[in-house]
Structures are given as C-alpha cells and as structure tokens.
Amino acid sequence: MAHKFHPTVLREYDIRGIIDETLGPDDARAIGRGFATLLREAGGHKVAVGYDGRVSSPMLEHALVEGLTASGCDVVRVGMGPTPMLYYAEASAEDVHGGIQITGSHNPANYNGFKMVFQGRPFFGADIQLLGDLAARGAWGNGNGSVEEHEILDEYVERLLQGLAGIDPGALSGIKVGWDAGNGAAGPALEKLAARLPGEHHLLFTEVDGNFPNHHPDPTVESNLADLKALVAEKQLDFGVAFDGDGDRIGAIDGEGRVIWGDQLLMIYAEDVLKSHPGATVIADVKASRALFDRVAECGGRPLMWKTGHSLIKSKMKEVSSPLAGEMSGHVFFADSYYGFDDALYAGVRLLAASARLGKSVTQLRGEMPAMLNTPELRFQVDESRKFAAIGEIAQRIAESDAVADTTDGVRVTTNDGWWLLRASNTQDVLVARAESDSEEGLARLLAQIDEQLALSGLERGESVGH
C-alpha cells in the first residue's frame, strides 16, 4: 500500500513535521519500511532505534519499529536518550548497520522528526527523497524482523568519560562547572556523567519534559542561556555548558557570563587537538568567524571552510580525514579519538580536557580571543522558488566585480572591512545573512553591501525571522 508524505516533511538533513498536522504514525511506519528496504538492499539487516523526550516520541517509535520489522529488519531499541547515544549505539556495534533517532531537536514542542545513519554514514538529501519515492510507489520489501531491547546508557556514559583520557584527575579537582539540559533528552545521561567527572558540578533542568517548561532548548539563542548565566554567577563557577533538545548541539558561557559561540568553542578545541594532530585539517562552516580560520592556521592546522549542515560536514570529514569540525550552530564533531558524530555531552567533556591540557581556564581562553564585531544570523523570508536563484544572481555579479568571494555555500565576500555572507537555507524558505568586522563603521558598510546586492535582485532584508 502506497503512502504520501506531506510536502514539507522530507528535509535536506532530516525528516521533520508538526504532530497531527504534517507528521504522524503512518509517516513513521512508512519511514521504517523505506529505510529497511534500502538497508536490506545494501546488505544490512539490523537497525538501532532511539527517541527523545517529546510527548509524541513513544508513539512514533512504536510505528517506526513496526515499519522496520515489516520490511525485514531486526531492531535494537535503545530507548529514550540524546541523539548521540543513538549514534553511539550504531557506531560501536559491529552487527548494527543503521540507526534512527526520533527527535524534534530544538524545534517547538509540537514538532518531531527523524535523524538517520546508514551503514556508518549520514542519511540525507537524495537518500531522504528516495524514502518518499519508495512510499509513493509502495515499493517496500517484506519480511518479519525481530525486536530486542538494549540498555545502553551506562555504556555510553563510560565512553564519554574517555574524553578525559591521559589527564590527571587532580588537574581538574578544583574545577566548578554548571550544566543546563533544558529538560531535553540529555538530562539522564548528564546526571550520570556529572556524578563521575572530577570537580564540582551544578545541574539545571535534567528532568526530561517534552513541554520544556523552563526555557526553549536551543543554546544558540542567548536568551535561553539566562538560567545558566545566573547559576554561574551565583555559584562563581568556572564556566557553563548548555544542550539543545536532543543533545547534539552545545552552547557555553565562560566564568564572566560571556557566550562562547560555536566558532569560538572550535578555536579552543582546535588548539588542543592540533597539539596531538599537527598539520591536520579542521573544518568549519561558512558562517564561522575569520578569527577561527586564522587561529587554526596559527596552531599549525589547515583550515577548511565548508557547507553548513551536520550531514554535509560529517561527509567532508571522512573525505579529508579531519579529526575535528564544527558549526556556528553548536554541532561539534571529534574524530581524533571519537566517532566523528556531533555529541554535545562529549564536547562538554572535551572542554574540561582542553582547559586542563592547555593549562588555562575557559574564561582565559575566551578572553584571549580577538574582539570581532559580528551580526547574529539574520534570516529573512524569500519565496522557496526564488531563494537559490537569487543567490546565483548575486554570485554572478560578485564574480564580475573585483571582489574576493568564496561560493562553497552561498556567497561569502571578503573586503578590507571584514566579510559578509548570503546563503539559502536548505531547510526553510529563507535567506541567511551574516557579517563580521573589527569596527562598527566597517560592519555598517558590509551590511550596506548585503542590502545593495539584495536590492539588485529585487529583495530586501526586512524583518529577521526565527528558526
């Protein structure tokens, strides 16, 4: 029997929709059937399945497992937990060939979705469209897979602790850290992890609640860090770490309450990783600060600017054997002594490790970074049919001028004032703009250039829209 997905649900990097409006159990069942059909064709047969703390997640998990087994795949249910715990279940077991996490990530409580791994690689883009094609034709394989349950949380936490390998626990005995799970799926893992870490740890909102009663679990929005800032100030902590709803994106503040943005965290991690991997390639997305790329080069690494999107970055890491990559959005990928997937809990452990190995507090490391003036991510509505065409027009005009541009993902133009970026979102009908300079006047000139290019394509920046 064929199935048709709502046209907004099959995205570039994942599958996402609004419960009972655009996404429901029939969709989950169809995803399971399609994924299992493709995995069986590729020679695999066992899939790990996990889910986040949203109210709708158990229902979708039940239907997904039905779909997977009906098309002949065996299922290992790892239960409720952060997305990286599911990634770990897939990466660490030789007899597991795929993984699906049910998660709405940092989206509002009425959203949910699916993130997938296929034989050790990200499952995205054309793969996801293929699920839609198989469903439309009802071209699924048939079978009768088995289901087993695997309590993996303790094993996962044990693996996270290896991020401190080689560090004398005494070097961290006096450290004091705040952690904010935001009522997301990372809470139970965080409780177990913090109990095992050296130093003093203060935890916020570890109780999983899919209604997110305290604040929205998106650490890239500074207002969501208010509780963590208050905790760090009140307890005089060394730094604070926050997670998104499914635990694959990290946010951080230093002991003075300053935000350490995704590219600034990567500067700290790069300095640490490049000591043991001299000359290695470190990847960051096109939204990252010039200061990061400069710092990677200063530390003896090869900076590589790449496309935004966790699936695209993971694929590029494998291609160039990069031990470290990250995005402005807080996805950080370690492949030096970890698996190369985005794990915010592991990134939190590695922040402790970097501070110890570099012999500097996180506040000192943040304070030594060059002061840059940059805009937040400016997002504005552009018709879906127009967004890529507009970027193409802008790229063409820039190419015909004498400006220095990088077109890896959108258009990033470097001038004497700094740089500006315009790119089309792969997941929404928006254009994304960002600019960075070392002076207010320079930043104003860069924003004027963005506005000029938009006007030439019949667009305007207008009001910035949310995620």
Residue 385 — pLDDT band, cuts 50, 70, 90? confident
Residue 226 — pLDDT band, cuts 50, 70, 90? very high
Average confidence (pLDDT) over 94-116: 94
Average confidence (pLDDT) over 254-274: 97
**Rounded distance, CA 419 to CA 157, Å?**
41
Would you tell me which CATH number, out of the four given (3.40.50.300, 3.90.420.10, 3.40.50.10470, 3.40.120.10), belongs to the domain 15-151?
3.40.120.10
Q: What is the CATH number of domain 373-456?
A: 3.30.310.50
Q: Give me 264's structure tokens.
A: 């600034």
- Residues recognised as catalytic: 105
Average confidence (pLDDT) over 382-408: 93
The Cβ-side half-sphere exposure at 146, using a 13 Å CA radius, reads: 3
Q: What is the CATH number of domain 156-165+174-367?
A: 3.40.120.10
| Residue that has been written with the tokens 């320079």 in this structure | 442
Instruction: Report pLDDT for 320.
Output: 97
Residue 463 — pLDDT band, cuts 50, 70, 90? low
Instruction: Report pLDDT for 5.
Output: 98
Average confidence (pLDDT) over 335-341: 97
Where along the chain do its domains lie?
15-151, 156-165+174-367, 373-456
Decide if pLDDT at 467 tops 50: no
Q: Strand runs (DSSP E) across 324-377, as ranges?
A: 324-326, 332-334, 373-374
Q: Do domains 15-151 and 156-165+174-367 have the same CATH topology?
A: yes
- Would you call 270 helix, strand, or coil by DSSP? helix
What percent of the chain has a predicted confidence (pLDDT) above 70? 99
pTM of the predicted model as reported, rounded to 2 decimal places: 0.95
| Residue that has been written with the tokens 């963590």 in this structure | 228
**Cα–Cα distances in angstroms (integers) from residue 452 to residues 398, 437, 462, in the given order:** 12, 18, 13
